[in-house]
Every structure is written in structure tokens, then in C-alpha cells.
Amino acid sequence: MKKLKTDRGAKQNKIETKAKYTVALAGNPNVGKSTIFNNLTGMNQHTGNWTGKTVANATGYFEYRGENYQLVDIPGTYSIMSHSEEEEIARNYICFGNPDVTIVVVDATCLERNLNLVLQITEITDNIILCVNLLDEAKKKKITVDLEKLSQILKIPVVGVTARKKKTLNELLKATRKACEHKEKLKTIYQVQYEETIEKVIRELQEILIKQYQIKPELARWIGIKILDGEESIIEEIENQLHIDIGENYSKKNKEGKDDDSNELKTIKKQITEELKEKGITKEIFKEKLVTTMVKNAEEIAKKVCKFENKAYAKRDRKIDKILTSKKYGIPIMILFLLIIFWITLVGANYPSQFLFSVFGNIQEKLIQFATYIHCPEWLSNMLILGVYQTLTWVISVMLPPMAIFFPLFTILEDLGYLPRIAFNMDGFFKKACCSGKQMITMCMGVTKWEIF
């Protein structure tokens, strides 16, 4: 076993030094990115059925048909507009990581919501593969996704997988290889078209960016949109990563406090902002229009490619969801569920605990008898039996049963998809303490561990 591990480590190192291509795994939280990552690299990234498990980029390596690839597992994010640290890590890698190919993983059972991020990424790069995961779940819910049609609409390769089954990833590997080796795109991929007033100003900025900074047209379009969108953290990142002088910060940092007003980009930006304001499009309205158009596009595409054979199933799901996350019943149901779990864990664990105590106690008596029989010195038998053996068996008797009950119960809740609902219910309260509702899950685990002790 040890040798096998060493062999695998040595093989990984060899691939690592020779990796020719870098492939990124991006997507919404909880869509199976880390499951794909683990299956391809043989590594063991944390996976589980709630959002936000991966919080930093993880790198692994794999070999396919004689070529070595570096694979980067990015934290899940709903949007390029980051709201948390892990979303910022994801955004920075998607925007500036410069991988050879970005695989965007989506959940086949809720394609419409996932397409929002896909459309945002198509604004940044055209070397994308769309990986539609959880096809087994979609089949159960009688949802079909027309992958070919989706590929025709978005003009990018689309593959369907069930990440838990390793052999289904072969198509993804094939597509990745093809995309890495033929990077020059002949087709222009799908781009969200905004209303003409917005398109016109985006084009103006795009032309200047291409002329002044020699940036690729599609990236220039995205930067143009972000300049007008005016989200500070992303503008700062564009300035730092691409050395483009957009706001006051760049001038301060790079030109010793001198604000360069002769910069054509800034002049046009000012003019455009004024022009839009005169037309009643403030920064907030501009943002809203971008988001609404994006959501509408995702909705239209999803409508064209998704078929729900069992509408009652989706309706029932939504009904249950409404109850579990409603203001009136959400929290009482959650408290009830948690109390039941804690009760089963604490009361139920007493029986196996007592059983283990009596079994280990009997063995202890036999061990003492044996020590006396072989005339073992008292200090040695006390140290080994009352010191090592008794402490160890007490810990096992107290700790093992509650853990063996709590974790499977929690896994059932996880598989039923209830944990994200708990996070949603608690998000408002946790936000008041500058935290996220997701922390409720770790807090529940913590409470149980504390109760066990």
C-alpha cells in the first residue's frame, strides 16, 4: 500500500513537471467540480452536498493520451460579481488565471440558474467547454437537456457527464484535449446582447481599449462593461492584472499621485457616464439592466433546451422548498429536525456506549487476571491496563457511538438537500454578525461534538 502511494506520488510529480496545458474547473457551488477533479487527478478534495466546500484553488495533474494536464479546482461562485472571499478567488482565476481551457460545470437539474454564470464567462473567454453534470439526477427527475442544441446555441463544446461515474468523464477528456490543441476559434461564441444604448457605449470603450492597450476584442468588450458597471474591486483587479489605467487608484499607485487626465479612456468614460445619466441610466440602473438581460437570456436558452416530462415532480419539489424555507415554518421545522437528530444521537448513543463499556470492562478484568498470573510488576500492569487500555476504551465507548449515529444522520440530511435550506434560513441572522448562513452547518456539527464531550 505504501509503495503504491509512493508510486502514485512519483507519477504525479513527473506529470507536474511536464504539464503542457492548464485546465480550470469553474461553476456554481455544489455542481460536482471537486468530484470531477478527484476522479481525474486521483486526489481527495472535500466534496459534500452543500455549497461552499472548496474555498481555495486546488491544483492537481492528470494524463490523457500521452499529454499531461494541470487541473485547477476553483471555489464555486454564482456570479463574477464576487460577494465573499472564495467568490473573489474564483472570479480572479476565471478572469485573470489565463488557463488554456475553462470547463464550466453546470447542474442539469437547474440549468437555467447555472447558465447565468456561463453567460458571464462567455464574455471573458471563448475557450470554454460546458460540462452538464448530474445527468443521473436529471433522469430521476425526468428532465432532459438537449446537449447538441445547447452547443449550437452557445457555439461551444457541450458534454454531458455523471461525475460520480468515472467512465462518463471520457467525453469530457476528449473535448478538453481538442480544445487545448485547437485554441484558435473560428466561430464567435454566444454573447449576451444588451439594449442598443448600452451596446453603443460598450463598443466605444471596446474600440479605445483595443487601440490603446492592444487587448483582444472579446476581453476589451468585457472590460468595457466592467468599467461602466463600476464595481470597485473588479476594476482594481483589472488595473493590477492588466495594467490599464481606469480609476484614480491606478494613477495614485503607479504615477506617484498624479492623476492622468490626458488618458483617452478616462475622458471617454466620463463622457459616457454623463451621457447615460442624461438618458436616465444611473450606475444602479445600468447594473440592473445588465443583470436582467443576462437572466432573460439564460431563461430563453434553458427553455429551448430543457424538457420537464414530470412537471408535477418539479411542482412538488418547489412546494416542499417553499415550506422548508418559509418565514413561518422554516425555522420551527429546522429546530425540530435538529432536536430529533440531537436526541437520537445523545439518547440513542447511551445503549451502544453501555454495551461497549461492559465488553471492554470484562476484557479489562481478564487482562488484570492475566497480569497477576504472569507475575507482571504492579507498576507495569497499572500503566498498561489502567493507564493505556482503560483510557483508550473509555474514549472509544463515549465517542464512537454518538459519532456513528450523528454523521450518518447528517449525511441523510445532506443527501436530501436539507443542509442548504438550513443555510438559507439562517443567512439573515448570521449576516447580522457579518457571517454567512453556511456557517450554521459547521456550527451544528460543533454543538454535537461539544455535547458528546
Ligand X SMILES: Nc1nc2c(ncn2[C@@H]2O[C@H](COP(=O)(O)OP(=O)(O)OP(=O)(O)O)[C@@H](O)[C@H]2O)c(=O)[nH]1
Residue 33 in the binding site for ligand X (CB under 6 A): yes
Q: Where does this chain touch ligand X (CB under 6 A) — which range of 25-33, 270-278, 289-297, 422-430?
A: 25-33
Helix axes 196-213, 264-278, angle to 10 degrees: 170
x/- site string to ligand X, residues 113 to 142, per CB under 6 A? --------------------xx-xx-----
Residue 29 in the binding site for ligand X (CB under 6 A): yes
> Residue with the closest Cβ to ligand X?
76
From the list ligand X, Mg ion, none, pick the one residue 352 interacts with, judged by a Cβ distance below 5 to 8 Å according to partner type: none
Count of beta carbons in the 10 Å neighbourhood of residue 216: 12
- 146: CB partners within 8 A, 6+ apart: 304, 305, 306, 307
x/- site string to ligand X, residues 61 to 100, per CB under 6 A? --------------xx------------------------
Please state the length of the chain: 453
Residue 31 in the binding site for ligand X (CB under 6 A): yes
Which residue from 93, 41, 88 is spatially nearest to 62, judged by alpha carbons? 41
Q: What is the dihedral of CA 339, 340, 342, 346, to 10 degrees?
A: 130
Cα 272 versus chain centre, distance: 36
x/- site string to Mg ion, residues 14 to 53, per CB under 5 A? -------------------xx------------------x
Three-class SS state of 73: strand
Single-letter amino acid, residue 76: G
Provide the minimum distance between the beta carbon of 71 and ligand X in the complex, in angstroms, as a whole number: 13
- Of residues 24, 30, 61, 119, which one binds ligand X by CB under 6 A? 30
Residue closer to ligand X (CB basis): 124 or 163? 163
3-state DSSP helix/strand/coil % of the chain, to nearest 5: 65, 10, 25
Provide the minimum distance between the beta carbon of 126 and ligand X in the complex, in angstroms, as a whole number: 23
- Cell (9 digits) for 24: 480550470
Contact between 158 and 151 under an 8 Å Cβ cutoff? The reply is yes
Three-class SS state of 200: helix
Three-class SS state of 104: strand
Residue closer to ligand X (CB basis): 35 or 273? 35
Residue closer to ligand X (CB basis): 314 or 398? 314
Instruction: Give the interface with Mg ion as residue ranges (CB under 5 A).
Output: 33-34, 53-54
Instruction: Give the interface with ligand X as residue ranges (CB under 6 A).
Output: 27, 29-35, 47-49, 51-54, 75-76, 133-134, 136-137, 162-164
